[in-house]
Structures are given as structure tokens and as C-alpha cells.
């Protein structure tokens, strides 16, 4: 009997003949978990839609902040209920890589906006507006 066969004979398989390699295969969500995520997604879509359509928030900056807040909450709901991201899966590496990606994208967007703002402010000098020349009727000359 070879060493490989001896390993299999000594219990590398469970009672059903499956290898015991995937202890951390990730959570398997239940129907109620998916429905909770679905209902939260519907609510987090309907409330901002109503806020905009009913013109509840008059100030544009406040509306952008409120709608952005709802968007961030909805992203978190999708990540938890549909992508099953938490600190336990794969030893927390999935969550850590997601946090790294979010931070990297935020730095890239902030840096791009900063550069664009300063280029607009510093590279575009104010030019005086030239006055349009006045045209005189042909044949009439002034001495």
C-alpha cells in the first residue's frame, strides 16, 4: 500500500468520502437573510426616491449629503446580506481587502478633485473681457 493510499485509509476523508479541506467555505445564507437584505434594499431605495420626488429637502447640499448617506448604507447592506462580507470569512482578509480598496479609491478621487480644483484656480488667469469694436456705417468717415 502506498503512502497516499495509507493517508486516505487513515481518515483523510470524512464518513461520506469527502476531503476535509474546506472548513472556511464561508457562510451559506438563509432565505430569511436574503429577504431581509432585499427588504432593506427596497426601503433604502424608496425613501431617497420619495425625498427627491416630493422635494422634501429644499437645500441642494443637504439633499446630496442625505442621499449619499442612504447610498452608503445601502452599499453596506448589500455587502453584508448579499456578498456575506464580515470579519470571519477567510480570516478577515476579504473585509480587509475591501477596506483597502475603499480607502485607495477615496484617496484617488480626493486627489483628482484637489488637482483639478487647483489647476482651475491657478492655471486659468483672469483675462479682461475685450470690448467689441464698434462698426460704423460704410461710406461715412470721421475726420
Over residues 97-130, the pLDDT tens digits come to: 888 999 999 999 999 999 998 887 777 666 667 7
pTM of the complete model? 0.56
User: Residue 27: which of 78, 74, 90, 93 has the closest Cα?
Assistant: 90
What is the percentage of the chain residues whose pLDDT exceeds 90?
43
* Separation CA 23–CA 17 (nearest Å): 15
Amino acid at each position: 500500500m502506498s503512502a497516499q493510499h495509507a493517508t486516505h485509509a487513515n481518515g483523510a476523508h470524512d464518513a461520506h468520502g469527502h476531503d476535509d479541506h474546506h472548513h472556511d467555505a464561508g457562510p451559506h445564507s438563509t432565505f430569511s437573510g436574503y429577504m431581509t437584505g432585499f427588504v432593506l434594499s427596497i426601503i433604502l431605495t424608496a425613501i431617497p426616491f420619495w425625498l427627491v420626488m416630493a422635494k422634501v429637502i429644499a437645500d441642494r447640499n443637504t439633499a446630496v449629503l442625505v442621499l449619499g448617506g442612504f447610498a452608503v448604507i445601502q452599499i453596506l447592506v448589500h455587502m453584508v446580506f448579499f456578498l456575506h462580507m464580515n470579519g470571519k470569512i477567510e480570516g478577515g482578509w476579504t473585509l480587509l481587502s475591501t477596506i483597502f480598496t475603499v480607502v485607495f479609491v477615496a484617496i484617488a478621487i480626493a486627489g483628482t478633485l484637489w488637482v483639478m480644483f487647483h489647476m482651475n484656480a491657478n492655471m486659468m488667469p483672469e483675462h479682461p473681457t475685450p470690448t467689441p469694436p464698434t462698426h460704423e456705417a460704410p461710406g461715412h468717415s470721421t475726420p
